[in-house]
Amino acid sequence: MKNLLDKLYRNQSIIFKFFLLAISVFLIVYFFPTGGQFKYEIIKGKPWQYENLYAPFDFAILKSDEEIAAEKSRIRKTHIPYFKYDVSTAENVKNNWQEKLDGSQDSLVNTNQKVAEFISKTVDEVYQNGIRIQDGEENNYSIIFLIKNKQVEELLYKDLLTQQDLKPYLISNIEGNYLSNLKNELLEIFFEVLEVNVQYDEELNQKQIQSKFDQISYTRGRVTKGSKIIAKGEIIEGEKLRMLNSLKYEYESQSLESSAFVVVITGYTCLVGLSLLMLLLFIRQYRPDIYDNNNKITFIFFNILFLVFLTLLVLRLDTDYVYVVPLCILPLTLKAFFDARLGLFTHMITVLILGLIVPDSYEYMFLQIIAGIVTILTVSELYKRANLFISVVQITLVYIFAYFAFNMIKEGSIAEINYNNFIYFLLSGVGLLFVQPFIYAHEKIFGLISDLSLLELSDTNSKLLKELANVAPGTFHHSLNVANLAEAAANEIGANSLLIRVGALYHDIGKMKNPIYFTENQTTSVSPHDELSPRESAEVIINHRLEGIEIAKRRNLPDRIIDFIRTHHGTTTVYYFYAKQKEEDEGEDINKKDFRYPGPIPFSKETAILMMCDSVEAASKSLKEPNTQLIDDFVEKIINKQIQEDQFINANITFKEIQSIKKILKAKLNNIYHLRIEYPD
């Protein structure tokens, strides 16, 4: 049992990765659609490349979207609209119109019986069919249904008076009468008493139209089992295309039998598992530092799962919206945290997985892979908003251009291209602009650090660095010099220059606790070490590393920056105080561990560069009369000693790169001390 637990403990990293792989495969396959899959690729306008295809079962031929749309348009055009007749309004006006008149109008009616009779008769005529609101969209109707007292009457649409028709109708009645001399007064009376009482019944009309839509047949004709659908070499178009699409729809809509379901799920599991396994092997081969970090592996798989689930959700809503998903946010995110090669490879694996279930999979995969390549090539310095915006515009244009060219081949006509997808590409581009908050969320969840955060941390006006400048100005100046040296060295060998600059700025923050114990902060010839034993002095010096880690954690600095604080002295010795102790305790055995930093030693190129630059910059202050030869020998001596003490064996840095770093440090120190190269006579 103990041996088993030991094995599990030693292999826990590998076990975790296989567990992560298994759970990822399970989640993806679980949410995959499980209908039947049509095994042939249908490309409009291209020859049928397979053997003669015969109908495996009876199926109906589906109407095209254009045919369905045309039928719906015909239904809307031929629909006879329903209007509601408000009986209460009509009766109220006919019975009480006199009560609405003012004094002068009432006097006219009461003194002239003929006027009263004419008004009453005209009101009755107007409300025989009623008055409606003018609506330009309804002018094409010839016949309508008028719902009056729960009875439906059919009448000509023109027999309904509108508010605009009312005036000419009344003028015509008045001028054809003996009361034409009272036209203005009568018009004023009519407009005072008449009210609209007929309205278009929106709810009833929509129900009637929808009822007719529900009766539409979405098929026309049937194909019987054994009938030839298409022969090898025939062009896929017209009726052949409709039959193939109908057969594909039948396959994908059929529920699988239990045995077939198991086979399909097994196939999906194998393909998805193989894809994710290839990603793991790629990371292990080319990015072992990421492979050894389970947190980073989890981060990569989380992003794959997130975009796969987002795409599956969109597919369930409507397959037409599949290009709205900003899939290129994946390579953008991974490039921000790792590198372009890993970002592109992960993107391609994700596209391959989605290609199993999206419609027009070849077109989808082609567009997404091209867009992913453009993303990797164009996006640089993501922390600059202008760069991100320009890159998003370029990615969107490539989407549109590739889709346009692809569909010119597929459709054979510009008019047949679905231009709605251009809008979806634009929406996808807008989604890519959210990559910065997306990256910020990942930093908080997974404890990673991107160039965006590094840029913020490199600001010397940040609270912690300003505090360092105030409390330990010498240390702050030393950190700036080390940052400049390290950045130049990192650029020379292709390391992460922004990361190492930030690490250099913060590597000595532990000196803030006891700044006066470090020579760069001492302003007089009196040193507090004079009152301490060499062993106590060494302890104070060594402790600045641990105190720096504590400060960094309290201030929520990322772990990758804390790594520089941990490793910038490795397991080297505080040699000055060790030698002083040996001198005081001559002849006695001295434990060298009391004067040695506890480590760890550098484990990346960046941390190794910082150790070299920190040691060289600090020791260069002891040079009294520096010259080119002295500086060259000085740099060689310090770095060679670190190599002899095995400080770089875990850092994955080559001797060639170390030589390049030495060259840069020599040149920079010569510039600092304003030295010129001595040319021969």
Residue 207 lies in a domain: no
Q: Which pLDDT belongs to residue 369?
A: 94
H/E segment holding residue 132: strand 131-132
For 469-513, how does the pLDDT look when each residue is reduced to its tens digit (9 = 90+)? Answer: 999 998 999 999 999 999 999 999 988 888 999 999 999 999 898
Q: Which pLDDT belongs to residue 486?
A: 92
Distance, in Å, from the CA atom of 96 to the CA atom of 188, rounded to the nearest integer, reads 17
135 shares a domain with 54: no
Q: Which pLDDT belongs to residue 278?
A: 95
Residue 255 has pLDDT above 50, yes or no: yes
328 shares a domain with 425: yes
Q: Which pLDDT belongs to residue 193?
A: 78
Residues 6+ apart with CB under 8 A from 15: 8
Which amino acid would we find at residue 99? E
How many CB atoms are closer than 10 A to CB 315? 18
127 shares a domain with 147: yes
Q: Which pLDDT belongs to residue 9?
A: 62
Residue 209 lies in a domain: no
Residue 390 has pLDDT above 50, yes or no: yes
For 111-152, how does the pLDDT look when each residue is reduced to its tens digit (9 = 90+)? Answer: 667 777 777 787 788 788 888 877 655 556 788 888 888 888
Q: Using 50, 70 and 90 to split pLDDT, how confident is the model at 383? A: low
460 shares a domain with 417: no
374 shares a domain with 392: yes
Residue 620 lies in a domain: yes
Average the pLDDT over 428-454 and give the result.
84
Question: Six-digit token pair at 153?
Answer: 């009457």
How many CB atoms are closer than 10 A to CB 497? 20
Average the pLDDT over 456-466 and give the result.
88
605 shares a domain with 479: yes
Residue 282 lies in a domain: yes
176 shares a domain with 122: yes
Reading phi first (left if > 0) and then psi (alpha if -120 to 50, else beta), residue 238 is in left
For 597-606, how does the pLDDT look when each residue is reduced to its tens digit (9 = 90+)? Answer: 887 999 889 9
Do residues 611 and 645 make contact, with C-beta atoms less than 8 angstroms apart?
no
Residue 678 has pLDDT above 60, yes or no: no
Domain boundary among 445, 479, 511: 445
Mean pLDDT of the chain: 83
Residue 236 lies in a domain: yes
For the entire predicted model, the pTM comes to 0.64
Q: Using 50, 70 and 90 to split pLDDT, how confident is the model at 533? A: confident
Which comes out higher in pLDDT, residue 175 or 363?
363
Cis, peptide link before residue 600, omega less than 30° from 0: yes
CA dihedral sign, ordered 99, 101, 102, 108: negative
Do residues 598 and 549 make contact, with C-beta atoms less than 8 angstroms apart?
no
Residue 40 has pLDDT above 60, yes or no: yes
Average the pLDDT over 369-388 and give the result.
80
Residue 677 lies in a domain: no
Domain boundary among 397, 424, 445: 445
264 shares a domain with 245: no
Which comes out higher in pLDDT, residue 282 or 293?
282
Q: Which pLDDT belongs to residue 679?
A: 44
Average the pLDDT over 258-275 and give the result.
83
Domain boundary among 445, 470, 492: 445
609 shares a domain with 476: yes
| Beta bridge mates, 60 | 222
424 shares a domain with 275: yes
In 430-474, beta strands by DSSP E: none
Order of all β-strands in the sheet with 143-148 = 151-156, 143-148, 82-85, 198-200, 131-132, 161-162
Do residues 291 and 277 make contact, with C-beta atoms less than 8 angstroms apart?
no
Number of domains in the chain: 4
Q: Which pLDDT belongs to residue 681?
A: 47
Phi first, then psi: give them for residue 84, nearest 5 degrees: -95, 130
Torsion of CA 636, 640, 642, 643, to 10 degrees: 140
Which comes out higher in pLDDT, residue 622 or 353?
353
605 shares a domain with 665: yes
Residue 535, domain CATH = 1.10.3210
Residue 212 lies in a domain: no
Residue 337 lies in a domain: yes
Determine the structural domain holding residue 546 and report its residue range. Answer: 451-672
Distance, in Å, from the CA atom of 57 to the CA atom of 250, rounded to the nearest integer, reads 10
Pairing of strands 198-200, 151-156: unpaired
Residue 673 has pLDDT above 80, yes or no: no
Residue 366 has pLDDT above 50, yes or no: yes
288 shares a domain with 141: no
Q: Which pLDDT belongs to residue 258?
A: 56
Q: Which pLDDT belongs to residue 477?
A: 92
Q: Which pLDDT belongs to residue 153?
A: 86
Residue 536 has pLDDT above 60, yes or no: yes
Looking at residue 142, what DSSP letter applies? S
Quote the percentage of the chain above a pLDDT of 70.
Answer: 88
For 58-111, how does the pLDDT look when each residue is reduced to its tens digit (9 = 90+)? Answer: 778 888 777 888 888 888 888 888 888 888 888 887 777 777 777 666 676 666
